[in-house]
Amino acid sequence: MKKIVVLTGAGISAESGLKTFRDTDGLWEGYNIEDVATPEAWQRNPEMVQDFYNQRRKSVLEAKPNAAHYALTKLEDKYEVTIITQNIDDLHERGGSTNVVHLHGIITRSQSSVKASLTYPINGWEIKMGEKCELGSQLRAHVVWFGEAVPMIETAAQICSQADLFILIGTSLAVYPAAGLINYVPREVKKYIIDPNIPTASNRSIIEMPYKATIGVPKLVDELLAQ
């Protein structure tokens, strides 16, 4: 069974109503990234950061998978599919995908604020101040912040190196180290990019599909299933 590796970014979640991490004004839901998505922000004002992610989690839980999420699940009928996502939502899983690697964590889990590998399910949408991990430290969102290591990047690079076909969806290839994953895909492997704004970095003999995810993904999936 051929291996398809899919790398998804904010564009696929945006069509489910979730604001993208890097909007044109540099803000995320009206906040400067430096104020809500760095270890320093947590040290300065943990209550504000906690509330920010609680509200984002609420939005994620209210959002629904879209046609692109559902289309990707159909590929599993014919291919071995691994989705590597830069997104912190769980829409791929709720859409039915069974093998998802979250590069930047997943907001529907909590983690220890002193040991990132200690993660826990969240009951509901809120992590309260005073809720602690087994080491006695405050729980926070299981999200990789700017300035923190990306623990799944080596796993993702290994997966990409074994791809028989590679698909980029809704990503600007601007966030590193995730943007470098395409370099691990063997040169001879066929590569597709689905995005209404094809990034200038896509000069590596990639087949360009300049559509939004809900149009381009079902279109490509139908093509691949017909082969």
Give the residue numbers marked as catalytic: 104
In this structure, are residues 193 and 220 in contact, taking their beta carbons and an 8 Å threshold? no
Instruction: Give the number of other CB atoms < 10 A from CB of residue 161.
Output: 14
Q: Rounded distance, CA 177 to CA 205, Å?
A: 21
CA distances from 216 to 90, 168, 220, 226 (A): 21, 11, 6, 16
Intra-chain end-to-end CA distance of the chain, in Å: 13
**Does residue 210 sit in helix, strand or coil?**
coil
- Helix H or strand E segment including 12: helix 10-14
CA distances from 92 to 16, 109, 202 (A): 11, 15, 24
Q: ∠ CA 215-217-222 to the nearest 5 degrees?
A: 100
What single string gives the DSSP state of each residue in 59-78? HHHH----HHHHHHHHGGGT
What single string gives the DSSP state of each residue in 86-145? ---S-HHHHHT-S-EEETTEEEEEEEESS-TT-EEE-SSS-PPTT-B-TTSPBEEEEEPP
